Structure 1
Amino acid sequence: MLSERSTATVRATLPAVGAAIGDIADLFYRKLFAAHPELLRDLFNRGNQASGDQRRALAGSIAAFASQLVERPDTRPDVMLNRIANKHASLGVTPAQYEVVHTHLFAAIADVLGDAVTPEVAAAWDEVYWLMAGGLIAAEARLYAQRGVVAGDVWRTWEVVGRVEETPDVATFRLRPADGSPAPAFRPGQYVSVQLELADGSRQIRQYSLSSSPGSPLRSITVKHVRADGTPDGEVSQRLHTHVRPGDRLRLSAPYGDLVLDHLDAPLLLASAGIGCTPMLSMLEHLAERGHRGPVSVVHGDRSPSDHALRADHARLTAELEDAAAHFWYERPEPGHPAERTGRVDLAAVTVLPGTHAYLCGPLPFMRDVRTRLLAEGVRPADVHYEVFGPDLWLAAG
């Protein structure tokens, strides 16, 4: 909880800090990478840095955290902290790195706001930072302990034992631990980080959902080939697609992520678009293996059937469930596809049962549309669970 004195100061300065937070985040990253270029080379996603998404996510999360401390002082934004902590744990972030961030973030605040940063203002925002950092450090420590790993040492070497071309732009890589030890357990919907050495010597990291069920003897990641076109965006997926074959080895983190299948006694809705189907396939396979008997609505949107990665599995696993129905929308359907499911996903055509828990994964506009419809149907906001590929601009803005 923020101290009474700092609460008054943060409330008074929040509009000014909020208005400048984008400039502060931009300057912070420039200062950070000038002092520690290895962080941009081997930890931060260069594509998100180039697009500005990471800066916007940082700015939004700090502003959202400070706003909640002021407006709802008796609660803590645990949903936001847990989501960030899972991502940090998959990267191996250490407590010492929060000191590094503090140094350069507060230098950026002082540079951007100038004389407005009085000692009292600096102390209040310092308290905000360490409340947020302390919450994250504690959450990450719990996540590391659960996996039996040490902060900063989350990586194991895995062998690629199979590769399946799902579509012209999507491939599934089947993996097992290179040392022959058992694969770590995970919950349906979680992801791993893949650390890949690129041609320039950098070791870039990307997160990919596990698309197999926890009961599978192998682990699978299904990766869409994002065309890099000379930019950092897509550089890891491009190398995976063009260079990685059975017999090769990859460095994977322990599994993390807070989009996990739960509430199995409630009606379920699994909604995805594009490559967002990957965590849903893990959930569906898990439900099928358990002989799940409750109602499940499966919703997916894609450009065309040929672009729908894992389409056959998506349909087959749904059909294996006792009380489930699949609703696939295509912008360019094949002949015979229902006209009412042509174009973008429209949940008006899907019955949303009372008490539904919904799991969403896909582009942000898709998830916004689905969430809006679900709330209109009476689904509680807390019962809508989601995963975002890349910086979580949605959560930061909320």
Structure 2
Amino acid sequence: MLSAETAAIIRATLPVVGASLDTITARFYDTMFADHPDLLDGLFNRGNQRSGEQRRALAGSIAAFAGMLLDHPDQRPDALLTRIAHKHAAVGVTDDQYVIVHKYLFAAIAEVLGDAITPEIAAAWDEVYWLMAGALIAMEARIYAAAGDHGRWREWQVIERHEETADVMSLVLRPLGDGPVPPALPGQYVSVRVRMPDGVRQLRQYTLSGHGQDGTRRITVKRVRGGDAPEGEVSTLLHATVKEGDVLTLSAPFGDLALDGGDAPLVLVSAGIGCTPITAMLHHLTATGSTRRILLLHADVSRSGHPLRTDMERLAGALPEAEHIFWYERDAAGHARPGRMDLSDVALPEGAVVYMCGPLPFMRDLRAQLVGAGVAPRDLHYEVFGPDLWIAA
């Protein structure tokens, strides 16, 4: 995919450019938003901008893409690109915005690296950028086409609100209007668009954690409290203000983590609010009368803090070949295993396909445990809430 000349330049400069990418992307976002503050209205997540997560994810994805092109020159890293394309589609990224990003990104590269960026080096990295951008534009066009004209935004009415835990609530939603509802695969998410008190619209993605036979769908929202990270402004607003009868604006479902339709055994792994896509998969398996061998594994701080626990237990109990094991760091006696998830004495089904979701350190640890237990890396699928910092690691 890269010419021999370009590949040689990228290989030689990747260590230097990669080491500076965090500084480059910080400068890129600062200058772009200074000139285009409108991009923070209904597109970019300003919480991720404040925390630096978006900057680190962008830097990681560029470096990962370049590295993959060098390591596998005859292959396009579609697994990486598909995940990014779905996240872009969920917020409505358009083709022309890649031109804006290119302008400010390459200006930041020139400013940070100065004379080290010769015309030849700039041209080589330009080729990498447009290879990545072109592939994403094509993928996003197909995703948008599949969602249809009704897929961008639609109003849904809140018909039920349930308090799952002290910091987690579920909203059951009914579509308004007569148009068709875009289909959802078990594990996908939607964007919720809300107007903040300062007038700026913000988007956040929430998994469709359940559905009803009457066309209703459910999202489950964890309130992100302050501390080491900024308080979640959208989750806080939703928890404080949304009530039955209110109307929310939702996108079509997106996301590349979706349950396969095969018959291989399943291992469903989650921690905390990562249980939402796993619960959606359990709903689907129960509704379709699945007889697959299923091992459900979940870790949480405590039984009372375990979101959707009742759903997970009920759905697993309704599946003839399913069993579940929960781990609680507190109050585990009689209900679960104590402490953090440990698979050392868990019998994993042979040939299992694994789906997992949870905090990034949890998933890194569990991936190592699963691979060490014999699960093939190609059979491990995951979802990261927010920018994919796994790529950046």
Percent of pairs with identical residues: 58
Return the letter of the residue paired with 1:344: R
Describe the shift of the 1:92–1:67 C-alpha distance in structure 2 as closer, same or farther (beyond 3 A).
same
Distance 2:221 2:119 in 1: 49
- What corresponds to 1:17 in structure 2? 17
Equivalent of 1:366 in 345, 355, 362 = 362
More moved, 70-79 vs 123-132: 70-79
- What corresponds to 1:236 in structure 2? 234
Does the 8 A contact of 1:159 with 1:176 survive in 2?
yes
- What corresponds to 1:386 in structure 2? 382
Distance 1:5 1:229 in 2: 48
Describe the shift of the 1:214–1:73 C-alpha distance in structure 2 as closer, same or farther (beyond 3 A).
farther
Output one character per residue of 1:70-91: Cα deviation in whole Å (capped at 9) or x when no partner.
Answer: 2210111101100000000010
Return the letter of the residue paired with 1:88: H
Does the 8 A contact of 1:192 with 1:255 survive in 2?
yes
Per the TM alignment, residue 169 of structure 1 is displaced from its structure 2 partner at its CA by 1.0
Secondary structure of the 1:306 match is coil
Return the letter of the residue paired with 2:338: T
Answer yes or no: is 1:131 the counterpart of 2:131. Answer: yes
Describe the shift of the 1:216–1:348 C-alpha distance in structure 2 as closer, same or farther (beyond 3 A).
farther
Return the letter of the residue paired with 1:113: L
Does the 8 A contact of 1:183 with 1:219 survive in 2?
no
More moved, 205-214 vs 313-322: 205-214
Equivalent of 1:356 in 352, 355, 358 = 352
Describe the shift of the 1:354–1:263 C-alpha distance in structure 2 as closer, same or farther (beyond 3 A).
farther
Describe the shift of the 1:168–1:131 C-alpha distance in structure 2 as closer, same or farther (beyond 3 A).
same
Per the TM alignment, residue 375 of structure 1 is displaced from its structure 2 partner at its CA by 0.5
- What corresponds to 2:206 in structure 1? 208
Secondary structure of the 1:375 match is helix
Per the TM alignment, residue 178 of structure 1 is displaced from its structure 2 partner at its CA by 1.7
Per the TM alignment, residue 229 of structure 1 is displaced from its structure 2 partner at its CA by 7.6
Secondary structure of the 1:305 match is coil
More moved, 88-97 vs 255-264: 255-264
Per the TM alignment, residue 228 of structure 1 is displaced from its structure 2 partner at its CA by 4.7
Q: Any unmatched runs of 5+ in structure 2? A: none
1:219-230 superposed matches below 5 A: 219-228=217-226
- What corresponds to 1:97 in structure 2? 97
Answer yes or no: is 1:344 the counterpart of 2:343. Answer: no
1:271-350 superposed matches below 5 A: 271-338=269-336, 341-350=337-346
Answer yes or no: is 1:249 the counterpart of 2:247. Answer: yes
Distance 2:265 2:156 in 1: 36
Secondary structure of the 1:211 match is strand
Output one character per residue of 1:326-375: Cα deviation in whole Å (capped at 9) or x when no partner.
Answer: 1011111254235xx10111122321122110000000111111111111
TM-score normalised to the size of structure 2?
Answer: 0.97
Distance 1:179 1:115 in 2: 58
Per the TM alignment, residue 396 of structure 1 is displaced from its structure 2 partner at its CA by 3.3
- What corresponds to 2:260 in structure 1? 262
Return the letter of the residue paired with 1:68: M
- What corresponds to 2:185 in structure 1? 187
Does the 8 A contact of 1:160 with 1:250 survive in 2?
yes
Per the TM alignment, residue 40 of structure 1 is displaced from its structure 2 partner at its CA by 2.3
Does the 8 A contact of 1:273 with 1:300 survive in 2?
yes
Q: Structure 1 runs of 4+ off > 6 angstroms? A: none
Distance 1:363 1:231 in 2: 14
Per the TM alignment, residue 215 of structure 1 is displaced from its structure 2 partner at its CA by 5.2
Return the letter of the residue paired with 1:392: D
Distance 1:30 1:110 in 2: 15
Does the 8 A contact of 2:51 with 2:230 survive in 1?
no
Per the TM alignment, residue 7 of structure 1 is displaced from its structure 2 partner at its CA by 1.0
Describe the shift of the 1:57–1:26 C-alpha distance in structure 2 as closer, same or farther (beyond 3 A).
same
Answer yes or no: is 1:395 the counterpart of 2:387. Answer: no
Return the letter of the residue paired with 2:390: W
More moved, 179-188 vs 368-377: 179-188
- What corresponds to 2:37 in structure 1? 37
Does the 8 A contact of 1:160 with 1:173 survive in 2?
yes
Output one character per residue of 1:240-281: Cα deviation in whole Å (capped at 9) or x when no partner.
Answer: 011011111111111000110015310101110001101111
Describe the shift of the 1:45–1:331 C-alpha distance in structure 2 as closer, same or farther (beyond 3 A).
same
Describe the shift of the 1:230–1:175 C-alpha distance in structure 2 as closer, same or farther (beyond 3 A).
farther
Per the TM alignment, residue 214 of structure 1 is displaced from its structure 2 partner at its CA by 7.6
Return the letter of the residue paired with 1:395: I
Distance 2:180 2:312 in 1: 27
The number of residue pairs the alignment matches comes to 393
Does the 8 A contact of 1:187 with 1:214 survive in 2?
no
Return the letter of the residue paired with 1:3: S
RMSD: 1.7
Output one character per residue of 1:65-111: Cα deviation in whole Å (capped at 9) or x when no partner.
Answer: 11111221011110110000000001010000000000000000000
Return the letter of the residue paired with 2:353: H
Distance 1:189 1:231 in 2: 26
Distance 1:228 1:200 in 2: 20
Does the 8 A contact of 1:274 with 1:301 survive in 2?
yes
